[in-house]
Structure 1
Amino acid sequence: MTLFNNLSWFFREHWRTYLVALLMLAGVAMLNLAVPYLIGLAIDELITATETTTAETDIRPYLLALFVLGIGVYALRYGWRLILFGTSYRLGSILRARFYQRLCKQGQAFYSINSTGDLMARATNDVDAIELAAGEGVLSGFDGLLTFILVLIIMFAVIDWRLTLVALMPFPVMAWAFHRISRSVHQHFQQALDCFSRLNQKTQEALSGIRLVKAMGREEIESQAFSSISEQAADSNYRVAQAEACYDPVIHVCLSTALLFTMSYGTWLIWQQQLSIGQLASFTMYLGQLIWPMFAFGWLLNIVERGSAAFKRVDQLLKTADTINDKAVLTPTGAELRVRNLTFSYPNSHTATLNQLSFDLPAGKVLAIVGPTGSGKTTLIQLLMRQWQSEPDMILMDGLALSQYSLKALRDQYAYVPQDSFLFSISIAENIALTSPSASQDEIEAVAKIACIHQDILSFPEAYQTQVGERGVTLSGGQRQRICIARALLSKAPVLILDDALSAVDVHTEQQIITHLKDSRNEQSSIIISHRLSAVEHADETLVLTHGCLQQQGNHDQLITQDGWYSRMWTYQRMEARLEET
């Protein structure tokens, strides 16, 4: 079984636990074997007593033995379930931890080709299937095989080998049918997993965008799209169920045929006085005990094929190479940035997103990046943080290429506020202190004041302990942005990056935040991306990007005197501001 080979590392780590569980299973199998034998002895003794007209026959020892066997079987079954299933749940926990660690190490290139819904499906549904194989799969395989072997030994050696051979005649047909069914289950379950991933992705999109769906009146359209995907998933699962349903009829037909052969040939052996009635009764009960191994083998093939299909999907992700190589160990000692002839294109794109960019950001200075939408501003920031990989020596920090620093050490140099102000479903204070969990309440309030969100927070019923809801849904866009700015300020990283992080606040609040940053963080380098030029007029240097190219470069006073995008946009925004004032 390929799946068990792939999980051999786990079985080796927990071999003691599995050994104890398997010994308990062996004990159950041995005790179960004694039941038909004791019943057969009791029947023969009763028949013998009847034929010899014995006055009394005491079968109480047999009944007592059967009672003790029942207690022993119950205790052992409870023990192996507790041990075996508990260990398999540990496998699921390990796989999910590794899965999450791999996700954390991947860069933007990975997430651009893998959907959230598919990743969630692999971390939940697929891991559950592997976990089931490591628990019930081991149970079914070992217990079924052991019971099958022991029963055959009893039937061959103790009762009658000729009757056993006759009873086993339908079993090769059953083995062939199991092989065909298991291949069908594997194929259909693989399709079902893919459909579940698409359904998961659609569900995630629907829940994330429910407000937009309602605002645009698309409830009916989105419901139809969801129903279509749901029907495809249901159809795939139905085909899996159809394939699985073939196991039971095959088992019942083959075992019924085996019972027919047994009763026919066994009756003839009794007629020839080569077999007793008690032996035939015991043999029939042992044949009945073969029902469990057959069901076990069918269930084993079923869950192993499910687990194999799921393992391929999980293992594919676990073996996906990091999109960003992180083997360096150096830590920057300074935050001075130098960019020389930076050119970058996204994968599978023939157009350069950035083309021949060059600039410097000395420590403690403010760099502004402006330009029309789609000019490559955010891409530049992602390259500086090495979320995408640039060519060697195009970007230097403290005189060394970014690839010479570990990712953690490099990204610790940045306090980043992205365009999408993401908040976790925890309190406001916990969101602000996300990068500095040990921060005091005074430190949290200090950065909240710089970000002009302190008074807003105090107006909430629970102030800083207010729960923000999923993705900060209970807050306005401007409040979310300012909390994210406060969170970035608390990290005290050498470089502060505001990626259009003031777009949802009014001009007055924007100017307050800029003034606070200049007054309290003048030793910190800043990179500010903004469509509102009033937010960057204080910058030491401004880059004007158009279609990935550097069109203009200079400070505010220099750029407004030039005939270019900056001066035209500045004039337009000033006129717009005057109109709003009037």
Structure 2
Amino acid sequence: MKVFFKLKWFFIEKKKEYIIGLIMLTFVAILNLLPPKIIGYIIDEIAAKHLTPASLVKWMTILVLVALFMYLLRFYWRLLIFGSSNYLAKTLREKLFSHFTKLSPSFYQSRRVGDLMAHATNDISAVQQIAGVGILTLFDSIATGGFVILAMAFTIDWRLTLIALIPMPFMALSTSYYGKLLHKRFGVAQAAFSDLNDKTQESISGIKVIKTFGQQKEDIEEFKSLSNSVVEKNMQVAKVDSLFDPTISLIVGISFLLSLAFGAKFIVDGTMTIGDLIAFNTYLGLLVWPMLAFGMLFNILERGSASYDRIEELLGVPMDIQDKPDAIDQQPKGDIRFELENFTFPGEQVSALKHIHFELKRGETLGIVGKTGSGKTTLLKLLMREYEGYDGTIHFGSHKIDAYKKERLKEAFGYVPQDHFLFSTTIFSNIAFINPTVEKEKVERAAKIAHIHEDILRFPDGYETIVGERGVSLSGGQKQRISIARALLLNPELLILDDSLSAVDAKTEEAIITSLKAERQHATTIITSHRLSAIEHADLIIVLHEGTIVEKGTHEELMAKKGKYYEMYQLQQLEKLVEKGGYCDE
């Protein structure tokens, strides 16, 4: 029952709907008492030979009116209570999704997508059952059961009522035990489903790799193993679940047996009529649903409670990076200055960055080069405030980056990551992602700067071409250039290209760089690349090695030093020469 208290915020919000719905349920429970009593009257009139056509019509008319009124009441209480439960599912889903968007990258490094999807689907559905069927079974079992017992005790025979209720405590004890067992097993079953969900999502996303390496058979076997595990865990749940109805039926059966035995004795003694006994047993039949509902209630509550615990755990994950109380509510502009002494990823021992010092004037271009794992992307993520907890300061304009509101800071960046992501929609919608109502001319202009416009026009549907999930129908270079166009449409204060030209040829790369220089003369740009040709033009180039700056300067200055940058440049020039079929003398 604790889960009802956990959902108190929702029941307070929807108290009007629940109060009206439960009042209607109460009237239904009261009206349910009339048919058995009317049947008893009719039987007694038949036994006494007093039943007339007029009397039969009267009783039948009352039954029809009761049925019609109950129909209306049942329609509207379902609308109110089940409608509210759907609202709860919607609210939780939106809360969860909103919370997901606020969590830091470190959260997603430790969580699986399939598991998060299971929380947003199966778990929310289980909680929804509490606010719908759970409320129904709780109130209906209490109201209907209570009214039936009162009717049995006060309108027929209180002694027979007490006798019929003797087995009920055993039912309460057994269902309570089953409920605790169910809570534990359902939590395990949901976790198994999360594993299966994650496997499915991962396999579908990586189907090309699986087929390329011929691992379909092994992947299917792994899926079968996880699927069997889900079945096994749910069978454990089903075994407990299957105990409720037989236990309740057995106890209700004992109650029927006791009522018939002692009811027959009371008839012989002359303290009851046959009509009263039939009415009593009809009432006892009405108790079957409240008893079954009571068993269902434990089932629903334990499932929902286990799922709500999982949802609460997710919602309780704190946001690593939050705005300061006096955060500046304006977009940063100006120079960028790094004075970083040390940064280590959470849970790691080795420093990812250390001794990073440089200044980039507004309107300049910064080039960052270095081997894979040297810290290029980490440096950018710190600038975009995706991580904190470093020694030192990072300034953007006249303030440190943590002095701005996160939302305002993000607005200053146009970021094109290494793992470019396209949505399963049209090319136009992918470029216009930040502003779906933008004019087509602006989208085309951004595409021209990114040198993807001509490629788009060659598609049969042009800008209305559906790119498929993650841009599956496009080449790597096309996806990169569409991602660049999307960032350019924002006209950001700072454009960041994180190795975003790696899939285009040298000629296209040069054309894009030339366009960016012409279009962004007064805006800042940062480019990370393995290909030095992409950053030769930069106003400042820094060379990273094992998380620290080993060289910095312009292309000419670094070439004159004949250090790491010079070695990298010479090696790449040699590679180009070999690719063209040239040779060099020793």
Normalised TM-score (structure 1): 0.97
2:184 to 182, 187, 209: 187
Partners of 1:443 and 1:57 in 2: how far apart? 83
1:430 to 2:446 alignment: no
Unpaired runs of 5+ residues, structure 1, are none
Change (3 A) 1:358 1:581: same
Partners of 2:24 and 2:91 in 1: how far apart? 25
Corresponding residue of 2:584: none
- Does the CA-based 8 Å contact 1:428-1:465 persist in structure 2? yes
Corresponding residue of 2:20: 20
SS state at 1:550 partner: strand
Corresponding residue of 1:64: 61
CA deviations on 1:363-422 (whole Å, 9 max, x unpaired) are: 001111111111111111111000111437521111322111111111111100000110
Q: Is the deviation greater in 473-482 or in 338-347?
A: 338-347
SS state at 1:49 partner: coil
- Does the CA-based 8 Å contact 2:334-2:398 persist in structure 1? no
Corresponding residue of 1:347: 346
- Does the CA-based 8 Å contact 2:332-2:404 persist in structure 1? no
Corresponding residue of 2:486: 487
- 1:56 Cα deviation from its structure 2 partner: 7.3
1:454 to 2:453 alignment: yes
1:223 to 2:200 alignment: no
Counterparts of 1:78-89 in structure 2 under 5 Å?
A: 78-89=75-86
SS state at 1:544 partner: strand
- Does the CA-based 8 Å contact 2:339-2:356 persist in structure 1? yes
SS state at 1:419 partner: coil
Could you tell me which amino acid in structure 1 is paired with residue 219 of structure 2?
E
- 1:435 Cα deviation from its structure 2 partner: 1.6
Counterparts of 1:533-552 in structure 2 under 5 Å?
A: 533-552=532-551
Partners of 1:248 and 1:451 in 2: how far apart? 66
Partners of 1:151 and 1:85 in 2: how far apart? 25
- 1:320 Cα deviation from its structure 2 partner: 1.5
SS state at 2:46 partner: helix
Partners of 2:332 and 2:387 in 1: how far apart? 22
Corresponding residue of 2:3: 3
Partners of 2:441 and 2:534 in 1: how far apart? 28
- Does the CA-based 8 Å contact 1:383-1:390 persist in structure 2? no
Corresponding residue of 2:175: 178
Partners of 1:34 and 1:319 in 2: how far apart? 50
Q: Is the deviation greater in 327-336 or in 226-235?
A: 327-336
- 1:563 Cα deviation from its structure 2 partner: 3.5
1:40 to 2:40 alignment: yes
- 1:57 Cα deviation from its structure 2 partner: 8.1
Change (3 A) 1:536 1:56: closer
SS state at 1:509 partner: helix
SS state at 1:452 partner: coil
Q: Is the deviation greater in 435-444 or in 497-506?
A: 435-444
CA deviations on 1:307-350 (whole Å, 9 max, x unpaired) are: 11111111111121101122353124423111113411111111
1:402 to 2:401 alignment: yes
Partners of 1:264 and 1:411 in 2: how far apart? 79
- 1:437 Cα deviation from its structure 2 partner: 2.8
CA deviations on 1:103-137 (whole Å, 9 max, x unpaired) are: 11111121111111111111111111111110110
**May I ask how many residue pairs the two structures share in their alignment?**
579
- Does the CA-based 8 Å contact 1:49-1:57 persist in structure 2? no
Corresponding residue of 1:317: 314
- 1:38 Cα deviation from its structure 2 partner: 0.5
- Does the CA-based 8 Å contact 2:332-2:409 persist in structure 1? no
Counterparts of 1:121-140 in structure 2 under 5 Å?
A: 121-140=118-137
- Does the CA-based 8 Å contact 2:426-2:466 persist in structure 1? yes
Could you tell me which amino acid in structure 1 is paired with residue 557 of structure 2?
Q
Corresponding residue of 2:49: 49
CA deviations on 1:121-160 (whole Å, 9 max, x unpaired) are: 1111111111111011011101111001101111111111
Counterparts of 1:137-536 in structure 2 under 5 Å?
A: 137-328=134-325, 329-330=327-328, 331-391=330-390, 393-536=392-535
Partners of 1:158 and 1:204 in 2: how far apart? 61
- Does the CA-based 8 Å contact 2:332-2:408 persist in structure 1? no
Unpaired runs of 5+ residues, structure 2, are 582-586
SS state at 2:227 partner: helix
Partners of 2:52 and 2:31 in 1: how far apart? 32
- 1:80 Cα deviation from its structure 2 partner: 1.4
Could you tell me which amino acid in structure 2 is paired with residue 266 of structure 1?
G
SS state at 1:166 partner: helix
Change (3 A) 1:36 1:557: same
- 1:520 Cα deviation from its structure 2 partner: 1.2
Change (3 A) 1:333 1:354: closer
- 1:269 Cα deviation from its structure 2 partner: 0.5
Change (3 A) 1:578 1:256: same
Could you tell me which amino acid in structure 1 is paired with residue 374 of structure 2?
S
Partners of 2:400 and 2:390 in 1: how far apart? 10
- 1:439 Cα deviation from its structure 2 partner: 2.1
